Structure 1
Amino acid sequence: MLQTKLVNEELKAWTIQQRRHFHMHPELSGQEYKTAAYVKEKLAEFGIPVDSRFSAPNVVAYFKGTEGNKTVALRADMDALPLYEEGDKPYISTVPGVMHGCGHDGHTAILLAVAKWMSSHPQLVKNNIVFIFQSSEEASPSGAKQLVEEGILDGVDVIYGIHLMANLPIGKIGFATGFAMASSDDFDITIEGVGGHGGQPQDAVDPIYIATHLIQGFQSVVSRNLHPLQAGVISFGGMQAGNSYNVIPSEVKLQGTIRAMTFEAAELMHKKTAQLTESLCASFGAKGHYTFIEGTPPLYNHPKACEFAKRVIDDTFGEDVFEKMDPTLGAEDYSYYLKEKTGAFINVGMQSEKSQYPHHHPKFDIDEDAIPTAIELMIQLALNVK
């Protein structure tokens, strides 16, 4: 566990208590009303006003700095996952089929702890602070997108967010600079053919046969249209067609995901998959119906914000703590904030025996020894922006 300068054992214990409360009472994306009410209750205790202009169940609060030359936004996500939790921890989820399997309970508690610390040390906080307790990171429509459209970043100079990471060793803090995480968009496809007898395919337009070509053809978008130095992936996750041995169905439904590491690659892959669906299906005498489901854009960590964060990490915890990370094709709707404003998304390591299961696993848990590091990091980032 890293040594902290501002976070004491009392604040650590308080934060763990809050985190366990959230863990025991998880709520799915867009349904975090009890969580939001609890957050508002704590902010009221701290004397930090909540801004009612933003849609529920998001919670946005403002802390006025002593100088107010800069405004720093700090974000935590609040939603849980549709998972049945496994294990025997004393703070296991009390809601069947819903659990905090990605660390959002920790993120919410950590940001509350930052607010608590600032309310106790107002003379040390020169910058204005925007606390963003965000709904719906795990599902669409995105809570981040909604808040950005509602003007959450108006007047904000820089934004920082953290993620407790089970695949980064405890005691390490890291991120990738530039494009750090992929876009995540989905698609639905219906191939409309002509059904018929399995023994008389000449009288049918077989949508299953066409689907096999379309699945193969989509891979050419990555291998032959996308720049070889740009990362991207197209994966099919579902196919529904027919229910008989000797009947050619009249239609096939496909679904899948598109991931890309740049805005340009995401746009190209969307355009090409739509064109390919229509043209390839038409070449076989069928109709292809393509529906694009917009998800999240690529996450771009701004170099200046990353450089500043690296200095803060080195000065606060030591030069051996930072770990340069590779980009990942995972996605995160924090990208909506970084598409509009300078900032960075930072990973706080918690990989240990207690946190041995990956994110979104039914036995996932947080190593709570990582919590003070995350609180300290967010405080130091907010205090030192100039």
Structure 2
Amino acid sequence: MFQTKLVDTDLIAWTIEQRRHFHMHPELSGQEYETAAYVKEKLAEFGIPVDQKYSAPNVIANFKGTEGNKTIALRADMDALPLHEEGDKPYLSTVPGVMHGCGHDGHTATLLAVAKWMSMHPQAVKNNIVFIFQSSEEASPSGAKQLVKEGILDGVDAIYGIHYMSDVPLGKIGFATGYAMASSDDFDITIEGKGGHAGYPHDSVDPIYIATHLIQAFQSIVSRNLNPLHAGVISFGGMQAGNSYNVIPHSVTMQGTIRALTFEGAELMNEKTAQLTESICASFGAKGHYHFIEGTPPLYNHPEACEFAKGIIQQTFGEDVFMPLNPVMGAEDYAYYLKEKTGAFINVGMQSEISAYPHHHPKFDLDEKAIPAGIELMIQLALNA
């Protein structure tokens, strides 16, 4: 499917073997200690030292280039999802209720393959390389945010990461330039009213009625406060109230998510949801308690890094392999790296019968025919950046 220049069949077969190992032994966010131990074992075999100053179970390794004028970071995420895998493939998860349902097993195996290749061809690597095997992409607190806080990007000139994508055709590689993925923040709301008899609503402060106003008002933030050119979404995912036909409950709790495709939009929506909660509830004689849960910022693919990556893709795989993509309202904690440093997040297509199910589905699988392109692309980015 993909013609590679540097990656041979032996390395491809080895990588697929590693990917299947990770797939059979998944670990949830923040619990990837066995995965980390396995990664460290392989890096030791390659003679690549692990930097011990970063928090576990993250694994950070450094490769010294022949010139060392530039330092390029490459990232893979290691965590799995709380899903029970379905299907009959020979490498099914051996951990009940946990599976690699997003391709992180492939990302980890791919970055290990890049490290293995560099250990075998050290004279070809001029740049210093930082290998980031990151914990906790799927959960909060974010592993990327923690590593940035610990100084992972100090001295780094650019950072690149890939994601095998089931909605991008196998044989295509692409990304959106600029804002490519949305922020993802959550909120909890408690409306504290005054319970009472449903037949005497005038003696109560009905939190359910107030909740309906709050739901409507939140949508006005997107339609009337947010710049129409900046995409945004506010969705309520849960509401808990009373459980009786004729009792107005004392309180209502609500949960939801905020997605924005710009930094400005995210800040605006976060502020407005808090303000409306307090003011609308107060106008009805209730108390509104708003709890903001920080998630990830918008993912911004830097234009200069995108232009470089596009050139690498076309030179390596052919002009027709590159596929420009539209921004999406999904989120990725890789955004924390790009908030600090120049870089890009690149989607490697794998849409096929094998990967017919979407990410986070119990029958999700990674089409391993995409793996050679992932290895080759990360090597070429690191060598030529």
What TM-score do the two structures reach when normalised by structure 2? 1.00
1:244 Cα deviation from its structure 2 partner: 1.0
For 1:204, the equivalent position in structure 2 comes to: 204
For residue 320 of structure 1, give the secondary structure of its aligned residue in structure 2.
helix
1:217-366 to structure 2, matched below 5 A, reads 217-366=217-366
Paired residue secondary structure (2:330):
coil
Corresponding residue of 1:126 = 126
Aligned residue type for 1:52: Q
Whole-Å separation in 1 of the counterparts to 2:313 and 2:284: 58
Give unmatched runs, 5+ long, in structure 1: none
Does residue 113 (structure 1) correspond to residue 136 (structure 2)? The answer is no
Q: Which position in structure 2 is the counterpart of 1:135?
A: 135
Q: Which amino acid aligns with 1:334?
A: Y
Once residues 384 and 230 of structure 1 are traced to their aligned partners in structure 2, the CA distance between those partners, rounded to angstroms, is 34
Q: Please list, as runs of the form range in 1=range in 2, the aligned pairs for 1:160-171 lying within 5 A after superposition.
A: 160-171=160-171
Deviation of 1:345 after TM superposition, in Å, equals 0.1
Alpha-carbon distance in 2 for matches of 1:190, 1:95:
37
**Structure 2: distance between partners of 1:197 and 1:289:** 24
Tell me what 1:144 maps to: 144
Amino acid at match of 1:177: T
Deviation track 1:228-263 (CA, whole Å, cap 9, x = no partner) reads 111000000000001111111100000000000000
**Residue in 2 that maps onto 1:48:** 48
Question: Structure 1 CA distance, aligned partners of 2:284 and 2:163?
Answer: 48
Instruction: Give the corresponding residue for 1:178.
Output: 178
SS of residue paired to 2:320: coil
Deviation at 1:199, TM superposition (A): 1.0
Cα distance in 1 between the residues matched to 2:224 and 2:158: 38
Instruction: Find the residue that maps to 1:180 and give its secondary structure.
Output: strand
Deviations 1:106-154 (A, max 9, x none): 0000000000000000010000000000000000000000000000000
CA distance in 2, matches of 1:197, 1:49: 69
Residues of 1 paired with 2:115 and 2:209: CA distance?
58
Between the aligned residues of both structures, percent identity stands at 83
Aligned pairs for 1:40-79 (under 5 A) are: 40-79=40-79
CA distance in 2, matches of 1:228, 1:298: 17
Deviations along 1:186-233, one digit per CA (max 9) or x if unpaired, are: 000000000001111111100001001100110000000001111000
Aligned twin of 2:368: 368
CA distance in structure 1 between the aligned counterparts of 2:8 and 2:228, rounded to whole angstroms: 49
SS of the residue corresponding to residue 214 of structure 1 reads helix
Supply the AA of the counterpart residue of 1:124: A
3-state SS, counterpart of residue 20 of structure 2: helix
User: What letter matches 2:376 in structure 1?
Assistant: E
Q: CA deviation digits over 1:319-355, x for unaligned, max 9?
A: 0000000000000000000000000000000001101
2:23: which partner in 1? Answer: 23
Distance in 2, matches of 1:193 and 1:89, equals 53
Q: CA deviation at 1:27?
A: 0.3
1:100 is aligned to 100
* In structure 2, distance between residues paired with 1:362 and 1:213: 37
Local SS of the residue matching 1:90: coil
- Residues in 2 aligned to 1:141 and 1:344: alpha-carbon distance in whole angstroms: 22
Q: How many angstroms apart in 2 are the aligned matches of 1:87 and 1:240?
A: 35
Q: Distance in 2 between matches of 1:75 and 1:145?
A: 13
Whole-angstrom CA distance in 1 between matches of 2:159 and 2:145:
15
TM-score (norm 1): 0.99
1:105 and 1:240 mapped to 2: Cα distance? Answer: 37
Query: Partners in 1 of 2:124 and 2:2 — Cα distance?
Result: 22
Aligned to 2:84: 84
C-alpha distance in 2, partners of 1:63/1:188?
A: 44
Q: What is the identity, as a one-letter code, of the residue corresponding to 2:203? A: D
Distance 1:310 1:198 in 2: 63
Whole-angstrom distance in 1 between the partners of 2:209 and 2:182: 31
> 1 CA distance for matches of 2:339 and 2:119?
30
Alpha-carbon separation, structure 2, partners of 1:222 and 1:142: 26
1:383 aligns with 2:383: yes
CA RMSD, 1 decimal: 0.4
Cα distance in 2 for residues equivalent to 1:161 and 1:230 = 25
Q: Please give the alpha-carbon distance, in whole angstroms, between the structure 1 residues aligned to 2:272 and 2:197.
A: 33
SS of match in other structure, 2:289: strand
State how many pairs are aligned.
385
